[in-house]
Chains A and B, each alone.
Chain A
Amino acid sequence: MPPILEARDLRKEYPGKLALKSLNLQLAPGEVFCLLGQNGAGKSTTINLFLGFIAPTAGAAYINGLEVARHPLDIKKHLAYIPENVLLYPHLTGLENLALLSSLAGFKYSENELRDYLAQAGLPPEAASRRVGTYSKGMRQKVGIASAVAKRAQVLLLDEPTSGLDPKASNEFSELLQQLSGQGTAVFMATHDIFRAKEVGTRVGIMREGELVDVRPTAALNANELEQLYLTHMQ
């Protein structure tokens, strides 16, 4: 099966700093890859390269076989993105924000369908018609999750997506990821949360100073072993 997400010798340098050192990675449909690493390790840089927000210094990123740098708009039809801190238009309601994001993605949903997506993401029904300016960080995060689900993307790029979610919501999100994965969606998730990575990931990668230093199938490790492995690489 051809990879849905791929990095070939993907490299990013800034003046005086190597942000990503020749990353080679392939994700198959339905795979959940969790990338662990400290702040500044290069996790967000990798996601930004897959999103086309920054240009690689060398190598290439591919989504569904399309090179990101050459097809910056086409690849976005195939992926959804949830940042660490989902920020939305504060003067619009959750429904209006979701309608905007899904319409930009090319989907025209009825209000009921949008409400269903928001409910699926865990947003209380009465909050959907409230202005986002009154939302907590966790509620905004749920609108972001709803937008990703509503986009029916083949690839999910997640940058600390459970940041700000309470344990119950985080657990619901994990279930949602597993459900999407079961439907064939590939997930690339940057996270600090080792236990969440073990719980939802099919593979886990450890990144250090811009280099992917280790990749393991999560089935081969328990949570403690994974934590030990991570700490070993961080020393």
Chain B
Amino acid sequence: MRLFRLLFYYEYLHFKASRGLLLLTGLLLAAGLYGIYYGTAEVARQRQHLAELPDLGRHQVAELQAKFPGPADAGEVGYYHQNYALHHPTAWAGLALGQRDVNPYYLKLRLLGLQGQLYASENVNPTKALSGNFDLAFVLVYLFPLLIIALGFNLLSSEREQGILPLLLAQPVSATQLVVAKLAFRLAVVLGLGVLLSAVGLAWARVPLDGRVGLWLALGGLYCLFWFGVVLLVTAWQRNSSFNAVALLGAWLTLVVLVPSLLSVYVAAARPVPQGLALTMQQREAIHGGWDQPKAETMRRFFAQYPQYRDTATIRERFVWRWYYAFQYLGDQSAAPLARAYAQGQAQRHALAQRLAWLSPALSAQLSFNALAGTDLPAHMAFQQSATRYHDALRAFYYPFLFKKVPFTHAEYARLPTHSFTSPSDTSAAWAGLGQLLLSTAAVYALGLALLRGRAVQSR
């Protein structure tokens, strides 16, 4: 232990004397703080939008009340009135934005067919979307390994290349003890930085202090440990610093960029999913076809689903709202198998990506952070399901007015269903990711230590 403390202290002296490493560590600290700012600012912006939507809804109601001063036809109100399905972020979302920037965090729903509205989103700046999120999870998953590489690429080779190693190894100290102490100091620097940034991020995002904090720290810590294991493995190879740097950057490129990209391509090919556009087209085809269908046939099919409205009067007019909404509903029904296939396909893709994530600890960590923050694909799909139920509730609210010919008075606006959804943290997915990271880390350390012990350390 005395020896370890001594080597650890001298590593501190070496670190303090290295301006490049100090600068890099400072840069990463700044990047982490910016990531926290970026993520929390983005979530604050989304919260602000979500908070403004009820006001917007009230403003629209006032406009409708002005447009229809007396009792109105519910069909007309339902056509114009926009209802908002809201996907509130968790406190964690600011630390790992996940898919919250690419998927809509609110939906404008009218009484029309659902499928055409479920996949509609606001236009986004494609350049901004291309650059992706710069949140704390991004800094931890993508940039921390680069600091670890910068700290570790010359772990033992620097002493060998500077010619200091023979004098060190002529003392009663083994190369393994040297490497372990060097790794431990670097690990302390990186973990210290990670914990500091996480603490700042947790406080800034006002994350509740519960078990998930430990899970976040464990994921980040284990991910860093994995990369130190890669450093150990390359160090045990006992090549020069240039080789180590190239090997480690190659590992970073492979595990952080290449493997996730290839997995994405493979998952897309292995689990084909109909596009949201195809769903919308299918529904639109059905709806537009509805205009040309005999009304009696449309209503017969609708009443099969809603027998409680079967006794309404036969439609003889050229246009009535209840017929219009009936074929809107049937449009959704025709697209229902495709919608189910889309949802199932997305879920299967995500499940497959999670299963294969052990091939890339970066992917595993990213998926786990997103799951913990409730910003992953399943969270968005849960929001879509919740929005679907909300649309069903809107139909259930409006249909009695439409089919029983009840006038829609101003008082009814206040009784309209409202929606709010907050996706919970998926801690089980995060735990599964932690397990994958644990296995990858154990494997890389076992290999590195075996290689280090199996090969005599070259002092020159």
Q: Which residues of A contact B (CB under 8 A)?
A: 48, 51, 53-55, 72-74, 76-77, 79-81, 83, 85-92, 96, 100-101, 103-106, 144, 147, 157
Contacts and interface: CB of A to CB of B under 8 A. Distances in A.
Nearest to B168: A104
Interface string B164-191: 1011111111100000000000000000
A88 B3 CA distance: 19
A104 B3 contact: yes
Contacts of B166: 51, 53, 81, 83
Contact of B167 (A54, A74, A144): A144
Contacts of A100: 6, 10
B442 to A, nearest CB: 27
10 contacts: A53-B166, A53-B460, A55-B456, A73-B173, A76-B172, A81-B170, A83-B163, A87-B164, A87-B167, A147-B167
Nearest to A147: B167
Contacts of B6: 100, 103-104
A87 B162 contact: yes
Shortest Cβ-Cβ A-B pairs, 4 listed:
A87-B163, A91-B17, A104-B171, A81-B170
Contacts of A104: 3, 6-7, 168, 171-173
Contact of A74 (B3, B172, B460): B172
B367 to A, nearest CB: 42
B269 interface: no
Contacts of A81: 166-167, 170
Contact of B171 (A48, A86, A90, A101): A101
A72 B168 contact: no
A80 B170 contact: yes
A101 B254 CA distance: 40
B13 interface: yes
Contacts, number: 69
Contacts of B170: 51, 76, 79-81, 157
B459 A76 contact: no
Contacts of B174: 72-73
Interface string B290-328: 000000000000000000000000000000000000000
Contacts of B58: none
Interface string B184-204: 000000000000000000000
B20 to A, nearest CB: 12
A144 B166 CA distance: 12
A91 B11 CA distance: 12
Contacts of B169: 51, 53
Contact of B13 (A79, A92, A103): A92
Interface in B4-25: 6-7, 10, 13-14, 17-18
A99 to B, nearest CB: 9
A88 B164 contact: yes
A86 B168 CA distance: 11
Given A54-B456, A91-B14, A104-B6, A76 B163 contact: no
A37 to B, nearest CB: 19
Given A87-B167, A88-B164, A105-B171, 16 more contacts: A48-B459, A51-B169, A54-B456, A55-B456, A73-B172, A76-B170, A76-B172, A87-B162, A88-B167, A96-B13, A100-B10, A101-B168, A101-B171, A104-B172, A144-B167, A157-B170
B9 to A, nearest CB: 9
Contacts of A92: 13, 17
Contacts of A54: 456
A83 B167 contact: yes
B331 to A, nearest CB: 74
Contacts of B13: 91-92, 96
A91 B13 CA distance: 9
Contacts of A89: 14, 162, 164
A55 B173 CA distance: 17
Contacts of A79: 170
Contacts of B7: 104
Contacts of A90: 162
Interface string B253-278: 00000000000000000000000000
A77 B172 contact: yes
A197 B85 CA distance: 93
Interface string B113-134: 0000000000000000000000
A133 B13 CA distance: 15
Interface in B401-439: none
B184 to A, nearest CB: 16
Contacts of A91: 13-14, 17-18
